[in-house]
Structure 1
């Protein structure tokens, strides 16, 4: 991770201080372990409490529940800097702090917030969100996980798939069908704790990328959940899910920003150090053109994502821009990673450099 002259985006002093603090932490605690996290496909459990001690796990949570109450733009900045050191750690961080913690903050009852948020914010507990299934992703209404009401509680049967933090989560926001014939109004969100009878996790998935961001299938077999664990209200699951998507997309769009930062961290020094024909390859017009395109594209993505984050803080976000920001940032991060490999030549194709 390097500091080179870069465009300033008129952040407040508070957010700039946060960026510096998270960057320093990530450089010291995450970046040196990033390669091993990828090789071993293991998330370092000690990072959770360290992230909690910095106030990063509850960055949008009110102070009365142990949070930092800084907002979505600050959350984006933290997500970017963590992902810059390790995109895998960043993904797990986002799943915990936004998909789980922020959903409980936004939709939980006072009792639920006081019960669950403090330990999630401190890092004592790990959070996750479970929506996707083997046959249901974007098509939420087609989910098969059932929640049948019996004797004053809901009994869940079915499974969830591709759940980030699933193997480690202590607290999960889980969506299930409480009324199979009611369409979107038949979906309910539940808060489920690890160790709940009838709930288990299958073998962790051995992914090609984002390794170390632990992912698995969740299995529910006659898992009884009390009524007080309903999030927001019976049949309100689709509303909970859809109302949170804008914030989730805005924050998770910062993951690709971190990847682009990391590309620059590797490419800029290499163009100065690598010599061909008696001069650094960064002096060749082709490489200068690549670097110019990478830098310009990265800042265009940042401007869009930061603008959406600021809009979230003002209560002005729009679904199309939250979706547009993560679409654009993700596509350009993929392109930029390819350009970084081209700049590094053969060195870009070996694990030692990655």
Structure 2
């Protein structure tokens, strides 16, 4: 097994790293302080082709696959993990799902703009009382002959109030449980009447990443905006999540790496008792623990990407990568704050941001408990590994 990048993957990783250092890094502190979403960064990512992974060139994609995508996203998220949401929100959510399930008209209309950054994307599943239990959602879509009528609300939607295009999941047969969910493409530039998009400002972390509550009151959606077969939305949703969870896994592994790099640098710079604190065994133990978990997380992420690249069953590997990288990020950020000491608790260093941002991975796109269940269920033979 080859553990190195190909020349193309190296170029993509270097391109993404250069972009992140020049376009994202200079604004991190300001955007964190102001909870500010810098929309132009998304457009610039699109211009460089960093939103076109896994999408054929005929639809505006870059024609590159999972390995290149993860290599690029890893470098971006290492600088500021809030921006890893752009890839999931644009590409692995709406664009890739429309590519898989959409009509030719839908593909031509929406995918190129999502890849270029002209459109910001999102997907809306979670509700106030429906999280891990997706099939219990209450939002409905009623067939009114020449249009669909959406009623209900969604909660904790990444990019919900800043996006142009979103996938929205709703019940088209409320009595049928998982077999009564359908998926709809909502064009927020065309559909505004009856839609309320409310920013959620009070969050522990991910401050520059927009998060929203969406309220739909008798919102008319064109009949042609149904994505995929009627009442097959649950299957579409699970297929989509197996892709977008790669964004979570990659972002968590990148945050783990950022915390490790920062801790190593600080341990070599900070002196106590006449020597760098990295010379003390307790600090070395912390660094060693971080390194072990960080390497394992990165390998799991790229293993899952390789399986996807080669069209092999990847659901278990993706959940393992997301779960382990999440644990590595949380533990690594916590260790970094300890190594930095009192300075780790100040805004002068990024330890607080690392820890705040790491915690969201334990919930986002499947809680850690859910992913434990997926891994165990597949291993025990209770569910197939898709």
TM-score where L is the length of structure 1:
0.95
Is the 1:79–1:94 Cα contact (8 Å) retained in structure 2?
Answer: no
- 1:323 is aligned to 319
1:285-324 → structure 2 map (5 Å cutoff): 285-324=281-320
How far has the Cα of 1:323 moved from its partner? 1.0
Moved more, 199-208 or 139-148: 199-208
From 209, 222, 226, the counterpart of 1:226: 222
After TM superposition, list the pairs within 5 Å mapping 1:55-94 onto structure 2.
55-94=49-88
Which of the residues 85, 92, 100 maps onto 1:106?
A: 100
- For 1:308 and 1:11, the matched residues in 2 are separated by 15
- The residue number in structure 2 matching 1:29 is 23
Aligned counterpart, 1:54: 48
Paired with 2:271 and 2:187, the residues of 1 have a C-alpha distance of 56
Please point out which of 106, 111, 130 is paired with 1:117: 111
Query: Post-superposition shift, 1:181?
Result: 1.7
Instruction: State yes or no: 1:269 paired with 2:265.
Output: yes
- Once residues 158 and 308 of structure 2 are traced to their aligned partners in structure 1, the CA distance between those partners, rounded to angstroms, is 24
Separation in 1 of the partners of 2:166 and 2:243?
Answer: 18
Work out the CA distance in 2 between the residues paired with 1:299 and 1:288: 16
Offset of residue 56 of structure 1? 1.1
Report if aligned partners of 1:251, 1:309 keep a CA contact under 8 Å in 2. no
1-structure distance, mates of 2:31, 2:81: 10
**Mapping for residues 1-354 of structure 1, pairs under 5 Å:** 9-195=3-189, 196=191, 197-354=193-350
The 3-state SS of whatever aligns with 1:154 is: strand
Choose 17-26 or 278-287, whichever is displaced more: 278-287
* More divergent stretch after superposition (238-247 vs 95-104): 95-104
Please list every run of at least 4 consecutive aligned residues from structure 1 whose deviation after the TM superposition is greater than 3 angstroms. Answer: none
Distance in 2, matches of 1:50 and 1:312, equals: 27
1:317 to 1:249, Cα distance in 2 relative to 1, 3 A: farther
Unaligned runs of 5+ in 1: 1-7
Cα RMSD for the two superposed structures? 1.4
Pairwise CA distance, 1:96: 2.4
CA offset digits 1:48-105 (Å, max 9, x no partner): 1110011111211110011012112222222211111111122343222212222222
- What is the distance in 2 between the residues matched to 1:56 and 1:76? 11
SS in 2 for 1:217: strand
Q: Deviations over 1:278-336 (max 9, x none)?
A: 11111222222221221121011111110010000111133222111101110111000
Residues 253 and 328 in structure 2, CA contact (< 8 A), matched pair in contact too: no
Which runs of 5 or more residues in structure 2 are unaligned?
A: 351-386
- Say whether the 8 Å CA contact 1:198–1:223 is kept in structure 2: yes
Q: Distance in 1 between matches of 2:136 and 2:218?
A: 20
Distance 1:78 1:101 in 2: 18
2:141 aligned counterpart, secondary structure:
strand
Normalised TM-score (structure 2): 0.87
Equivalent pair of 2:256/2:325 in contact (CA under 8 Å): no
Describe the SS at the equivalent of 2:309: helix
Moved more, 216-225 or 197-206: 197-206
Q: Which has the higher contact order (CA 8 A, sep 6+)?
A: 1
